[in-house]
């Protein structure tokens, strides 16, 4: 006699969860926990955070996993602590100290000049222990296998690099900073380069991401909160409406988009949200030639 089939848990609503990631967990660990909390395998994240970093990790639930790639998540903000007086093998506190000199005599003018030189459009050499792939293998994996890795410098933009506080700590100087930057900027590389410019060495001792794109800590939830009450930070429709310019469309055009048709172009650039007369987002559109075609259907039939 066969047992009764276990009733399936209904799929959770689609949307964005902004997680305040704790230290010690990888971004994949956070995704695994969200899968358990929300009862779905359809969970993904944008913008990896290192295990020792805390703060904003943008997670997509259900159909929102496919929205992540369309969101403008290129600008990010961080609060960090830089220790001047020692350089490490990983550019953070996890690595071994490889060089250093006393930072006790660094004055405010020298510190300000060093930070100013690292603000704006700069060429930055990513840390050797980054997740960047070199010939198909991540740089940090090559470093762990004993290889010497040198990643070429690449352009990044540091929009803001402000000193919040500084504290003398023996031969070290601990500097609390706030950074607004483009995607692909390594804060620990800023710490390394600041230390090199001041000729004392530097590394990162704390990192907290406070914003990714339009999502910040004001809507973030801790994993403990999500375990108790697995709720979205931003439902899918709200995320689409808040993240893209709008193009108003008719009910007939909305029905056509839902069935794979395209619309006439109206001169929009970039990705726009097609919104029906009821204010409901139907699709994301991108214009090419004479067509405004859907690149993401919000609620596919």
Is residue 62 one of the residues assigned to a domain? Answer: yes
Is 224 inside a domain boundary?
Answer: yes
> pTM for the complete prediction?
0.89
The pLDDT assigned to 26 comes to 93
* Cα–Cα distance, 7 to 29 (Å, whole number): 27
Instruction: Match 């620990």 to its residue by tokens.
Output: 188
Range of the domain at 58: 15-73+214-236
Pick from 19, 12, 53: nearest CA to 215 = 19
Instruction: Identify whether 89 is part of a domain.
Output: yes
Report d(CA 265, CA 289) in Å as an integer: 8
**Distance, CA of 70 to CA of 244 (rounded, Å):** 9
The pLDDT of residue 50: 87
Which of 4-18, 115-129, 160-174, 220-234 bottoms out in mean pLDDT, i.e. has the lowest?
4-18
Residue-level length of the chain: 301
Query: Which pLDDT value is given to residue 140?
Result: 58
Q: Is 165 a catalytic residue?
A: no
How many folded domains does the chain comprise? 3
> Residue 153 to residues 27, 67, 122, 185: CA-CA distances in angstroms?
25, 30, 9, 11
- In the set 20, 29, 50, 180, the catalytic residue is 50
Q: Are residues 38 and 160 in the same domain?
A: no
């Amino acid at each position: 006699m066969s047992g009764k089939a276990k009733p399936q848990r209904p799929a959770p609503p689609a949307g964005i969860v902004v997680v305040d990631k704790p230290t010690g967990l990888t971004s994949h660990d956070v995704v695994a926990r969200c899968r358990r909390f929300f009862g779905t395998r359809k969970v993904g994240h944008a913008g990896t955070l290192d295990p020792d970093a805390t703060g904003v990790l943008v997670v997509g639930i259900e159909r929102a996993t496919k929205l992540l790639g369309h969101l403008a998540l290129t600008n990010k903000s961080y609060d960090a602590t830089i220790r001047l007086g020692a350089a490490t093998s990983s550019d953070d506190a996890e690595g071994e100290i490889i060089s250093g000199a006393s930072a006790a005599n660094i004055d405010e003018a020298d510190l300000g000049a060093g930070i100013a030189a690292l603000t704006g459009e700069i060429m930055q050499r990513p840390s050797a222990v980054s997740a960047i792939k070199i010939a198909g293998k991540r740089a940090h994996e090559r470093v762990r296998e004993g290889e010497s890795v040198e990643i070429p410098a690449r352009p990044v933009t540091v929009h803001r690099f402000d000193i919040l506080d500084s504290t003398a700590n023996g031969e070290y100087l601990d500097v609390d900073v706030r950074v607004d930057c483009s995607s692909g900027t390594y804060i620990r590389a800023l710490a390394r380069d600041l230390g090199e410019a001041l000729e004392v060495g530097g590394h990162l001792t704390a990192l907290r991401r406070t914003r990714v794109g339009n999502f910040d800590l004001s809507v973030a939830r801790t994993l403990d909160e999500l375990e108790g009450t697995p709720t979205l930070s931003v439902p899918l429709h709200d995320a689409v409406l808040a993240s893209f310019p709008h193009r108003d469309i008719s009910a007939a055009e909305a029905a056509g988009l839902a069935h794979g048709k395209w619309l006439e172009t109206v001169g929009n650039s970039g990705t726009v949200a097609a919104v029906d007369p009821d204010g409901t987002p139907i699709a994301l559109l991108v214009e090419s030639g004479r067509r405004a075609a859907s690149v993401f259907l919000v609620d596919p039939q």
